[in-house]
Amino acid sequence: MEQNDLGVFKGQIRATPDQALSEEQLIEVVEQKLGLQKGGISWVHILKRSIDARNAPVMLQLVVEAGSEDNLKHRSLPQLDAISFPKLPDGASHVLVVGSGPAGLYAALELIRNGIKPIVVERGKMVRERRRDLAALTKDHIVNPESNYCFGEGGAGTYSDGKLYTRAKKRGHVMESLLWLVAHGADPDILVDAHPHIGTNRLPVIISKMRESIENAGGDVRFNTKLTDFNSKSGAVSGATLLNVKTGATQEIECKQIVLATGHSARDIFYLLYDKGLSLEAKEFALGVRVEHPQSFIDSRQYHGEERVNNLDEERLPAASYTLVCQIKGRGVHSFCMCPGGIIAPCATEQQEIVTNGWSPSKRNNPYANSGMVVTIDEDVWTKAGYSGPLGALEYQRSVEKACWKAAGETQRAPAQRLTDFVANRPSSGPEADCSYHPGTTFVNLHDVLPREIAEPLKKGFLEFDRKIRGFIHKDAILVAPESRTSSPVRIPRDKESLEHPDLVGLYPCGEGGGYAGGILSAAMDGRRVAAQIASIL
């Protein structure tokens, strides 16, 4: 550890989970690290936190700063005062932002910071109204194609767990994007944890506050409003057609820039671009199942039998997660969006399909752990299945979702199978699976439902994963199909410098729907990048 000019020590330490829970014990750990007498420091502030569970005992790897009462005021605190979204001037230029997911919201806020008015259109509903459609989907098996887990205020991210891990290398951009979430009500712990997580129960309030920031600054946010067409003149965007999905009324709007932040499930946008003759590219994605285990089993394996809660009923370790990956005959099989203490959610966007995803509440305290287990789908797979062209991967994805819908009885019940039976390639029998997927499940042999190019690598992958996590092929583990919306099966091309579509000036593909992000944080940062580029030319 090193001491700066203000007398504050900073550096890395290792501590047990119990030591990290106690400020007194953590101070002792730092004093020992520095070779100081007891009382040498009076405070410790954790800057970064990660778990090292590779061996027993489980340890925490911490980056901390520490000091005395004299320099307590110099500890590092989030600089939230610097984050503001000022009132837009009268007559500000406007940009149409299509979609209010992470990419769209961050694009809108970045436009405001640059004095540009965003007009945000969202086909779905506000968070509170959206909940009714999610309840109808779960209880009554009714899919509202405009308002569901994927469409509505905040996009898929609002009801898809809130994991904020990203592989982005520009840490300053990552931290600033996290700070925007904290400024709108997220727990400051997301600035500390190596794998930050907000939780589906807390995200709706944060997303609503972000929308309020846009509106308070003079931006325009319109719900139940869908982009159905756009106009061009001399190879550049000139306007757009918007549809009110409640009334059926249409409106023409003039605009010279459109940020297309529609997410990976807005298939109508892909078809619109295709019909207008704009370039699209079929893109590799991953498809498979959700696997669900008792969370207690994952905890015991990952933490080597250590208790997660101490004798004071304090959580010393979070619900355990895992990351698994292997190659089966050159095809990747890997875990995706692992949700400790979570549930499996119904995420269909059309009536005749089954789509699953997972999420966790902030405390990750449900009794199940679920994760996508998916296989890489490349051009060889979808062309052999009879699909070609720029929408070939999308049509293949769609065919699997419809096959699962048919196999489970043509409702929102999902086809399921015990993991032990899937590996043995035998049908599951008995009562309905004890599973967190609330619309219900129907036992099938998933080898008869999923294409062979998915089922066989999954089977061999599970055998490999059972060697990595002993007992992973657990008697109580359930597979639920399909996990199919891992990423967009279509890429909307854009120029590397201008970020515009190469065929149309002023059209800016953005975020996951364009194929330029892989989660909440990366989509948010891409939204800011696109908005900053637009600001540089206005």
SS3 247: coil
CA atoms within 13 Å, Cβ hemisphere of 89: 7
Contact 258, 508 (CB under 8 A): yes
The answer to whether residue 512 scores a pLDDT higher than 90 is yes
Residues 177-212: tens digit of each pLDDT: 999 999 999 999 999 999 888 988 889 999 999 999
pLDDT band at 276 (very low <50, low <70, confident <90, very high): very high
Contact 288, 458 (CB under 8 A): yes
Report the C-alpha gap between 412 and 119 in whole angstroms.
Answer: 35
Residues 362-374: tens digit of each pLDDT: 889 999 999 999 9
What pTM was estimated for this model as a whole?
Answer: 0.95
Report the C-alpha gap between 324 and 78 in whole angstroms.
Answer: 34
* Closest alpha carbon to 287 in 450, 407, 460: 450
Contact 322, 349 (CB under 8 A): no
pLDDT over 90 percentage in the chain:
86
- Note the pLDDT of residue 312: 83
Q: Which two tokens stand for residue 44?
A: 């410790």
Report the C-alpha gap between 378 and 487 in whole angstroms.
Answer: 13
Alpha helix stretches (DSSP H) within 326-407 = 379-384, 392-407
Classify each residue of 305-319 as buried b or exposed e, where b means 16 or more C-beta atoms within 10 Å of its C-beta. ebebeeeeeeebbbb
- Angle 142-343-189 (CA atoms, 0-180°, nearest 5)? 125
Mean pLDDT computed over every residue of the chain = 94
Contact 285, 489 (CB under 8 A): yes
Average pLDDT over residues 121-126: 96
Number of neighbouring beta carbons within 10 Å of residue 471? 12
Q: Which two tokens stand for residue 105?
A: 């919201």
Compute φ and ψ for 198, nearest 5 degrees: -100, -50
Tell me whether residue 172 is exposed, middle or buried, using C-beta atoms within 10 angstroms of its C-beta: 0 to 12, 13 to 18, 19 or more.
exposed
Residues 417-472: tens digit of each pLDDT: 999 999 999 999 888 888 999 999 999 999 999 999 999 999 999 999 999 999 99
- Note the pLDDT of residue 199: 84
Task: Please confirm whether the linkage preceding 489 is cis (ω < 30° from 0).
Answer: no
CA atoms within 13 Å, Cβ hemisphere of 266: 33
The answer to whether residue 85 scores a pLDDT higher than 70 is yes
Number of residues that make up the chain: 538
Residues 133-184: tens digit of each pLDDT: 999 999 999 999 999 999 999 988 787 666 787 766 565 588 899 999 999 9
Q: Which domains can be identified in the chain, with CATH numbers?
A: 2-72 (3.30.70), 94-279+492-537 (3.50.50.60), 282-483 (no CATH)
**Residue entry with tokens 């809130």:** 162
- Note the pLDDT of residue 173: 81
**How, if at all, do strands 368-377 and 285-294 pair?**
antiparallel
Q: Which two tokens stand for residue 84?
A: 């503001």
Residues 248-258: tens digit of each pLDDT: 999 999 999 99
The residues, ordered by sequence, that sit 6+ positions from 16 with a Cβ below 8 Å of its Cβ are 57, 58, 59, 60
Q: Using CA atoms in the order 478, 398, 267, 495, what is the torsion angle rounded to 10 degrees?
A: 90
Contact 121, 98 (CB under 8 A): yes
Measured between its terminal Cα atoms, the distance across the chain in Å is 47
Report the C-alpha gap between 104 and 350 in whole angstroms.
Answer: 23
Report the C-alpha gap between 133 and 97 in whole angstroms.
Answer: 24
* Closest alpha carbon to 228 in 275, 293, 286: 275
- Angle 334-102-288 (CA atoms, 0-180°, nearest 5)? 20
